Chains A and B, each alone.
Chain A
Amino acid sequence: MLRLIVALCLTVIATTARAEIDIKQVTSPGGINAWVVEEPSIPFVALELRFRGGASLDLPGKRGATNLMTALLEEGSGDMSAQEFQSKLEDLAASFSFRASDEMISVSARFLTENKEEAIALLRQALVAPSFEQDALDRVRAQVISGIASDEKRPNTIASTTFYAAAFGDHPYGSSNDGTAETVATLTQQDMIDAHSNALVRDRIYVSVVGDTTAETVGALLDDLLGELPADGPPLAQDVAFGLGGGVTVVDFDTPQSVAFFGHQGMKRDDEDFFAAFIINHVLGAGGFQSRLMTEVREKRGLTYGINTFLVPRFHAEMMLGTVASSNETIAEAIAVTRNEWARMANEGLTAEELAVAKTYLTGEYPLRFDGNAEIAKIMVGMQMIGLTPDYVVDRNDFIEAVTLEDVNRVAAELMQPDALHFVVVGKPEGLESTQ
Chain B
Amino acid sequence: MTRLFAVLAVMLSAVSAKAENVTTYMLDNGMEVVVIEDNRAPVVVHMLWYKVGSADEPVGASGVAHFLEHLLFKATDVLESGEFSEVVAANGGSDNAFTSYDYTAYFQRIAADRLELMMQMESNRMNNLRITAEDVETERQVVLEERNQRTENNPNALAREQFRAALFQNHRYGVPIIGWKHEMEQLDLQDALDFYDLYYSPNNAILVVAGDVKPDEVLALAETYYGAIPAETQLPVRERPEEPPQRAERRITYVDARVSQPYVVRSYLAPERDSGAQFEAAALVYLAELLGGSPFTSALGQALQFDAQTAIYTNASYSGSWLDDATFSFSIVPSEGVTLSEAEAAMDEVISAFMEGEIDPARMESIRTQLRASEVYALDNVQGLAQRYGAALTQSLTVEDVQAWPDVLQSVTEDDIKAVAAKVFNRDQAVTGWVVSNQEEAR
Which residues of A approach B to under 8 Å, CB–CB?
14-19, 39, 41-44, 46, 82-83, 85-87, 90-93, 110, 112, 139, 142-143, 146, 149-150, 152-155, 254-257, 259, 287-290, 295, 298-306, 308, 325-327, 357, 360-361, 363-368, 370-374
Contact = CB atoms under 8 A, between A and B. Distances in A.
A342 B369 CA distance: 54
A112 to B, nearest CB: 6
Contact of A17 (B86, B112, B141, B370): B112
Nearest to A373: B380
Contacts of B366: 87, 90-91
A150 B156 CA distance: 11
A373 B38 CA distance: 13
B302 interface: yes
B297 A83 contact: yes
A203 B149 CA distance: 43
Contact of B153 (A149, A256, A298, A361): A256
Interface in B80-126: 82, 85-86, 89-94, 109-114
B294 A90 contact: yes
Contacts of B86: 289-290, 357
A427 to B, nearest CB: 8
Interface stretch (B27-35, B218-226, B253-261, B387-395): B253-261
Contacts of B259: 153
A110 B373 CA distance: 11
Nearest to B142: A302
B148 A87 contact: no
B417 interface: no
A110 B366 CA distance: 17
A90 B297 contact: yes
10 contacts: A16-B111, A39-B40, A255-B153, A257-B148, A257-B149, A289-B82, A302-B137, A306-B4, A365-B93, A372-B381
B211 to A, nearest CB: 8
A360 B335 CA distance: 53
Given A83-B297, A302-B137, A326-B145, A364 B91 contact: yes
B257 A254 contact: yes
A44 B376 CA distance: 7
Contacts of B441: none
Given A305-B146, A325-B149, A327-B145, A19 B297 contact: no
A256 B376 contact: no
Contact of B92 (A16, A257, A300, A306): A16
A87 B94 CA distance: 40
B313 interface: yes
B163 interface: no
Given A44-B377, A371-B40, A361 B141 contact: no
A261 B405 CA distance: 45
A5 B406 CA distance: 40
B90 A304 contact: no
Interface of B: 4-5, 40-43, 73, 82, 85-86, 89-94, 109-114, 137-146, 148-149, 152-153, 257-261, 294, 296-297, 302, 305-306, 309, 312-313, 333, 335-336, 365-367, 369-370, 372-374, 376-377, 379-382
A125 B41 CA distance: 35
A368 B142 contact: no
B260 A152 contact: yes
A359 to B, nearest CB: 10
Contact of A367 (B4, B42, B297, B309): B42
Contacts of A301: 138, 141
Minimum-distance CB pairs A-B, first 3: A364-B92, A302-B141, A93-B373
A368 B109 contact: yes
B93 A364 contact: yes
A180 to B, nearest CB: 14
Contact of B296 (A39, A82, A290): A82
A91 B367 CA distance: 8
A430 B296 CA distance: 48
Contact of B152 (A86, A257, A306): A257
B43 A371 contact: yes
B138 A300 contact: yes
A367 B85 CA distance: 19
Given A17-B43, A371-B40, A288 B258 contact: no
B297 A16 contact: no
Contacts of B297: 83, 86-87, 90
Contacts of B313: 143, 146
Given A16-B113, A16-B114, A146-B333, A325 B148 contact: yes
Contacts of B144: 327
Given A17-B112, A83-B302, A86-B296, A155 B93 contact: no
A83 B306 contact: yes
